[in-house]
Structure 1
Amino acid sequence: MSPGVLLYTSLIYVVLIQQAQCCVPSTIQAQVPVEVQAGYVVSKVNVGDCNSRRFYFSTCDPDFTVLPDGTIVTLRVTRVTSEGKSFCVWAQDQTHHRWKVDVTLTHTMQPQLPQQKTGVLRRFRRRWSPPPIYLQENSPPPYPKDLEQIGSDSSQNQSVYYRISGPGVTTHPVGVFSCEELSGVLRVHRALDREEFPVLIFIAHAYNRITHKETDKPLPITVNMEDVNDNAPEFVENSLLFTVEERSKVGTVVGQINATDKDEPNTSHTKIRYILLTGTELFSVHSFSGVISTKSATLDRETQEKHLVTVEIRDMGGALNGLSNTGTATISLTDINDNPPTFSEKSYKARVGENKADVLVLRIPVEDKDLKGTANWKVIFKITKGNENGYFRVDTDPETNEGLLYVTKPLDHEEGSHLMLELVAENEAPLVGAGAWMQVPVDLMVGDEDEGPVFSPPILTLRVKENVPNGTLIGTYTATDPETKTGKGIKYYEETDPASWISVDENTGGLKTTNMIDRESKFVSNGMYNMTVRAVDTSKKQGIGTVLILIDDVNDNNPVITVPDRTLCEQDGVLGSITLHAEDADATPYGEPFTFELGEEAVGKWKLKDAKGTSVVLQQAVALPYGLYSVPVVVKDLQGVGEAQTVNVRLCECATTTPGQEECVAQERSAVLGTWGVLAILLALALLLLLLLLFVFICSTKREKLYIDDGSGGMLIKSNTEAPGEEVKTDPFLLLCPSPVEAVDTQSRGQGVGLGEGLDQQTLEHQHQYQGNGFQTSAHEFVTSGGQTNIYASGHYGQGFYGDEGFQNYSVLDTWRTNELYLGNKLMYFCEEEDGRYADDLLKDYGYEGEGSSVGSLDCLSQMGVEEDSLDFLDALGPKFRLLAHTCTHTAEEEE
């Protein structure tokens, strides 16, 4: 040890000594009576600020003892002369440093009263309060025994008798004491145990023999039980279990034995002495404090983990006449890391295959004698040499404490077939003592395996412009065989090509474009496109390489206005404006900033301002009426490339002006005919068409034959209907919904009206053909004798349509019934299927949001000029309807 360390240690030792001396008094002076009784408290060794430290006290005078708290007590009766009495007290701390305290006793000048002796009968005249009675515990027979005689002062003037009551007399323990009534003699009738009844106080009463009234105040009588040494000391529970670190220094405190004695405290009956009967070569015990300390520094847990030491405790200060007891103290040694882990072999060898990763190469067993499962036992392995490139790692098996050597990166036999590692085994806890961590060499052989082709470089970077022509060679990517160092016999294939842009030449590894490369494609990230190429040698071994294609941008995208449909909110006195934003998929310098120009047809009505790179403000140049406007705007990129685009602007008064959430205020109801008006007109026309069909049917059944002077000699055959039919009257204000009916069965119309054999017909030019929902019609024109052209419609459900060659065996009645069915179904849809085929033709309620319409209600149109049961409306059906009426009239005149 260096001189500096010795000096430093000495200074610390001196400081500690001084600190201890400062808190332990060197002298104590106390005043005591001339005759000091046993158990008298003389004084106390006050350790002051050293209470945080533990002290053990002893005395050099056998007449005195020192309790663990420093209290000095007499063990036997001691007389103090006029010169006084001196003795010493020793104080010892946990480090076994001792300090001497000189105690000086001087007596007081007041004489001490003689002590009352027991067992002598005395009569106390004129004193109703006798001193306490002392009775030795467990005194031997015979019984009863006389204790004292009491006498009341009132017995001088009158005749009295005495009685006693209370503990020991009338309460527990009952019947121990009695009193003779006339003489006042107190007697004890059996032995008592001081440990059960240390003091008994009962009451004595004096009564007049004649009046039986008390002649004096009640007298309390105290009986003190004198202790005898009848209880041996006993160990406190669990006070014999101790732990101490192995290899502790000599004098290290192991613990303190605690014992108790039921006899009277602070007397020699309870002064316990501690003696070790076994284990004295390793441990020692302080005689009166019971503190056990180490006596040797050779305690080794790995040799013996527990030591059993027999301890004797004896009262009377260890005197031979004292009572004793024995017990076994168990001292367990706690572990320290005084044993480094050791390898079972001096060196290790292993073989590892090349191109292997995360593979266990070797298990390295070690042995550690320290306590299993603790930080002193757990091993940490470190590779101190040979792992500069990070190919290996060593883990620890938590169960066996073995080292697990793994290869973390693939090894190449061609780069090195032999590797040397050096491993060190350490513990989690630092090593105690002069030992050192052990190390062991590991010899690794790298096996040789047939490997697949290897691309060089592993990642090939190419640069190409987008939109290059198909078949352009953009680069070559080849691989070599690591065994032969050549690329002979290697074939190349596409492994991954997300956009199918590149083809790989099987023999040369050339990379050619097969599709147009687009930098703005979803397969391109940050202008880069990845693909992989697979190389296969003659032994079918494979290797993968990555091609990173950097795509240079070209100006192949025009700027586009992101939101072409906008709503412009106009305010009173302020011309409204909106901000247009544009985007260009191309990158700089083919993108922003953009230039904005207004189309010629919008000049004077609109204007552009505040252009900021990718946005511009479109504003009204003049006040414009509400409505929808198409504004042409030309947007060009930084290179001047762009085209005209149309911005659809809805100009209105807005309810909200939040950008992007503009909403127009609902306009008042317009006087222009709306949807419901159009539907009402269509419904009226449908009713008129039904009436027309009915009228034609009536006309066609007047005669058997109806001649049409059209030059063809054709005629219509009379139907089986002999009269126009019953007149059907309907409420002009009520629209009836017909029930769905089946189409006219053209295959079974035996009772229908057909064409006569002598009827000639001439088909004119086919004008119109209609197909819908399984129903087909064709329109035909016939020239009548009057030179007018009539058009009728024929129809058929389910199959084909009418040809251009005439009626084709279909009757006129079938035609009109089919038309009637078609119109009836449509009217039925009007009433029943709002979401069906004709849902848009239905009448719907129009929300009333303002003042009434200037044209009035449409309901009036259905009633205007219509009288119940009147057919005058047929006079105003139009020229075509008049032509049909003329045909029927002409037929009637011919019959006449």
Structure 2
Amino acid sequence: MANVLILHICSVLLLSRVESCSIPSSLYVVVPNTLPPGSHVTTVKVAHCDTGPTRLSSSDPSFMVSSNGVIETATPVSVAAEGRTFSVWARDDSGPESEMVVHLVHSVAYKRKKVQELYLRRSKRRWSPPPFNILENLEGPYPKRIEMIVSDSQAVHRVFYTASGPGVDEPPLEVFSLNKTGMLFVHKKVDREKYPKFTLTVRVFDIRTGLETDIPLPITIEVDDMNDNAPTFKDPLQYIVLEQSAAGTVVGKVNATDRDQPGSLHVKLRYSLKTGMDLFAINPATGVITTVTNTLDREVKDKHMVIVEIRDMEGAVNGLFNTGTATITVGDINDNAPTFSKQSYAANVKENENGELILRIPVDDKDLKPTPNWISKFVITKGNENGLFRIETDPKTNEGLLYVAKPLDYEQNPNVNLEITAQNAADLTGTSANWLTVPVAIAVQNVDEGPAFSAPTVRFGVKENTPNGTLIGSYIALDPETKSSSGIKYYKILDPGSWINVDKNNGELRVANTIDRESPLVHDGLYNITMRAVDASSKTGTGTVIIVVEDVNDNLPMIPTSELVVCEKEGELGSVVVVAEDNDQTPFASPFSFSLPSDPDGRWSVTSLNGTAATLQQMKELPTGKHMVDLDVKDLQGFGKTQTATVRICSCRNGACLVNPNSKSLGPMALLAMLLPLFLLLLLGLLLALFCSTKKEHHEFVDVGDSGGILLKSNIESPGEEVDSSLITVPTTRAESVVKGSVKGFAAANPGWVTSNGSGTMGTKSIHENGMYNDVATSDMDHLYSGQFNQYGAQSFGGNYMGTADNRQLNQDTTLLHNWQTNGRYLHQKLGYFGTEEDGRFADDVSHAYGYEGVGSAAGSVGCCSDIGDDDHLDFLNALGPKFKTLGEVCRKT
């Protein structure tokens, strides 16, 4: 912090009361080279300011001047070697402002004379004035002068001034005005809380030229605060404090605010209580409310209303203030135990009742409902050692509800005394009291009851197989009131095996049927019987008899009757484990002893394995098959007999014999294995049939005899769109002779044709690659028709050739011959196509092959037209064997 030295302040001129405040015109201050923000520079002494408040301002924004004349730095300030200068302005409401020039230097080597000269030199008013100040809500009359604004250009120009900005020509309008001479006026009250500052722009113009004579001047008008706002509460004044809290416990904090200028005296608040000061106090600076006593009692008063005052101006009497009512709620603690409305309680209950509500016990608790401090919890602290009672809390009424938990017996205890304590869900605190207890007397009322057996359950031990009629004991009942069994009858309710008889007059129990410990009615050696006793008034009572069935040695140890398998192994003798079972218990059962009663040839030996099993060992090679081995098996008491074990010696897989000769039935797999060959045979037949019917290659039949000893093909055209029957026209010639084997009807319709036997001079045929036949030898007709009519004009039907007798007549009909040759070519091409067809599209429109049996065959010709004239003679059907045998060897697709 800089050392502040005020070197000299000139003498203050005495002014009258109507003159303005006066300050020194010049001031020198020695400071360091650099001043941080908030550094104290000096203090300005202001004189003759009796007419009102004095406003001080700085021309340099790096410095602040407070109302009491203290100058401090607002920002970091650097002072050069030649120093730094700024002005401080002072004014009040009665006159113009005064200026003081402050010189900052960082050297004290200056002369007194120079100081005097500088101090007495008059400063010149400059164009850049400091901010102006006006007081908010200033009383009239208006307008009021603020300040005279003077430009340096006024010394050489005749000028006029204008102003613009908020408060002049911008909202709020008509607050300020500036006349042409530079006097600034205010015209109305200004609220600082709404408009804390105005910034105007002042311009100066030459009257004659209208040109600006200086740069525009921004002027700041700051509105000084007046204490016109009373402080207000920010938050609701609602607080809670627990009862019996110690003195000094914080209750809460009062939060308040003031709209006046922050940091000023107008917003410095003080807090105080106007009521409730006997219980509470408030910190005047922070507003924190605390207790001053530990006597707060919610049960006496659960809320306190306290008046709180807040005042500004640090609580001065002339400060503005406000008051509010704080509500302080006293919180509850469990400082009150529940109390009973009576000193004791009594209740009646009938014997044998169960689950009945017999008593309501009301309590009173002063604590807050329905908190854990108030909710009651009842405890039976005495007299309920047998758990005969239970107690609950009614959630609505907070009463204790006493119930009977188990039936009471008047004959055993006609009166029961209880003690019940009332507690809370929360523990007691803030009090020396304890939980309270109340006595409760329970009177058990007598009820006429049925007979009761001497004990609810009784046991009798009986050996199994005990003879019928044997007395095993008696089970009697007594009347609870008379303690006598006179007049009581006894009956069985449950006896699953009818093993026991009951004497209805005296309750004696005797064996009625054989008692078997191994019976499924016996569980863990126990057999239960339920009995009923009925008195003279038909009242009943029930009881249970448990018969403990004692074991006797009535079961032999037995070996299994199923076959025991001994698996053959290469180079060693087999063995098998024999396990015996005995339904008796120790000491009438295991451990068992095993022995061979007789084995003269030494084929087997037996060795004990454990208490219930033995190993039967093969001692010599034995044949595969079934063997019967006698074994003596006895229990621990030596009770047993000779039994036969069936042992099978066999080859095994996974411990089981591979072949079981005793099987009398076949399983599904065996049946399937037997049927499989039959299925395969059937499948083979189907495959052969399919192969035969779909074979495609052509068979060539070799003629071993004459030219007729072969099968000849013949086509039968079925009707269809592929064949135009009109194209086939047979030449009209006269037939001279018809021999057997010709086409019936065909030759008759064409008398010019002559047929001849296929073995004659017309020649033989050979199979062509397309299934047709070509001539091997030709006749004179081939030359007659230029080699063409031989194929088309002389056709083969059933092994014969058909021709004409008069060739000269055929030559004369050249037109008809030409048509026949054309049709022949067409048929030749179609038959060649049918011979290679595979898709069956033309059905029977294919070439068919026929067999020729040879000369002298009993079957004769197999041609379809060979015996047309013998339609009525069917004897040949009896001799078709050789024919069909040959046909069966030919497979063609049809």
The TM-score bracket by the shorter chain reads 0.5 to 0.7
Change (3 A) 1:179 1:412: same
- Matches of 2:591 and 2:151, distance apart in 1: 130
Indicate the residue corresponding to 1:484 in structure 2.
482
Q: CA RMSD in A?
A: 5.3
Indicate the residue corresponding to 2:224 in structure 1.
226
Q: Is the 8 A contact 1:606 1:619 kept in 2?
A: yes
Indicate the residue corresponding to 1:264 in structure 2.
261
Deviation at 1:242, TM superposition (A): 0.7
- Matches of 1:647 and 1:192, distance apart in 2: 131
SS where residue 373 of structure 1 aligns? coil
Of 437-446 and 160-169, the range deviating more from structure 2: 160-169
Aligned counterparts, 1:215-614, within 5 A = 223-238=221-236, 240-432=237-429, 433-558=431-556, 584-594=582-592, 611-614=609-612
Indicate the residue corresponding to 2:877 in structure 1.
none
Deviation at 1:552, TM superposition (A): 1.8
SS where residue 269 of structure 1 aligns? helix
Cα deviation, 1:271-304, whole Å, max 9, x if unaligned, reads: 2222323333433323232222334444332333
Indicate the residue corresponding to 2:191 in structure 1.
193
- Matches of 1:555 and 1:607, distance apart in 2: 28
Deviation at 1:476, TM superposition (A): 1.2
Q: TM-score normalized by structure 2?
A: 0.53
Q: Is the 8 A contact 1:473 1:510 kept in 2?
A: yes
- Matches of 2:658 and 2:368, distance apart in 1: 85
- Matches of 1:115 and 1:567, distance apart in 2: 132
- Matches of 2:618 and 2:211, distance apart in 1: 133
Indicate the residue corresponding to 2:135 in structure 1.
136
> Gapped runs of 5+ residues in structure 2?
1-37, 45-65, 72-82, 100-122, 661-665, 679-879, 882-894
SS where residue 516 of structure 2 aligns? coil
Indicate the residue corresponding to 2:800 in structure 1.
none
Q: Is the 8 A contact 1:633 1:645 kept in 2?
A: yes
Q: Is the 8 A contact 1:167 1:174 kept in 2?
A: yes
- Matches of 1:112 and 1:188, distance apart in 2: 31
Task: Look up the equivalent residue of 2:584 and give its one-letter code.
Answer: D
Report % sequence identity.
47
> Gapped runs of 5+ residues in structure 1?
1-30, 38-74, 81-109, 683-867, 870-896
Q: Is the 8 A contact 1:341 1:438 kept in 2?
A: yes
Indicate the residue corresponding to 2:823 in structure 1.
none
**Equivalent residue pairs, number:** 575
Indicate the residue corresponding to 1:53 in structure 2.
none
Q: Is the 8 A contact 1:33 1:112 kept in 2?
A: no
Change (3 A) 1:679 1:345: same
Aligned counterparts, 1:24-39, within 5 A = 33=40
- Matches of 2:169 and 2:567, distance apart in 1: 113
Change (3 A) 1:35 1:681: closer
SS where residue 468 of structure 2 aligns? coil
- Matches of 1:503 and 1:36, distance apart in 2: 130
Deviation at 1:363, TM superposition (A): 1.4
Task: Look up the equivalent residue of 1:383 and give its one-letter code.
Answer: I
Task: Look up the equivalent residue of 1:351 and give its one-letter code.
Answer: N
Cα deviation, 1:499-523, whole Å, max 9, x if unaligned, reads: 4322221112112222332323333
Change (3 A) 1:503 1:149: farther
Task: Look up the equivalent residue of 1:471 and give its one-letter code.
Answer: G
Indicate the residue corresponding to 1:736 in structure 2.
none
Change (3 A) 1:577 1:605: same
Deviation at 1:317, TM superposition (A): 2.2
- Matches of 2:636 and 2:575, distance apart in 1: 25
Greater C-alpha radius of gyration:
2
Cα deviation, 1:180-237, whole Å, max 9, x if unaligned, reads: 7x87776666554333344556777899999989987x87765544222121111113
SS where residue 317 of structure 1 aligns? helix
SS where residue 461 of structure 2 aligns? strand
- Matches of 1:128 and 1:429, distance apart in 2: 82
- Matches of 1:500 and 1:219, distance apart in 2: 131
Change (3 A) 1:198 1:508: same
SS where residue 405 of structure 1 aligns? strand
Change (3 A) 1:428 1:610: same
- Matches of 2:39 and 2:644, distance apart in 1: 121
- Matches of 1:354 and 1:598, distance apart in 2: 72
Task: Look up the equivalent residue of 2:363 and give its one-letter code.
Answer: V
- Matches of 2:620 and 2:435, distance apart in 1: 94
Task: Look up the equivalent residue of 1:611 and give its one-letter code.
Answer: L
Change (3 A) 1:481 1:161: same
Cα deviation, 1:779-820, whole Å, max 9, x if unaligned, reads: xxxxxxxxxxxxxxxxxxxxxxxxxxxxxxxxxxxxxxxxxx
Cα deviation, 1:476-529, whole Å, max 9, x if unaligned, reads: 111222222221111111122334322221112112222332323333332222
Task: Look up the equivalent residue of 1:481 and give its one-letter code.
Answer: D
Change (3 A) 1:197 1:578: farther
- Matches of 2:352 and 2:560, distance apart in 1: 54
Of 118-127 and 373-382, the range deviating more from structure 2: 118-127
Task: Look up the equivalent residue of 1:384 and give its one-letter code.
Answer: T
Change (3 A) 1:134 1:407: same
- Matches of 1:333 and 1:498, distance apart in 2: 75
Deviation at 1:475, TM superposition (A): 1.6
- Matches of 1:132 and 1:525, distance apart in 2: 115
Change (3 A) 1:633 1:79: farther
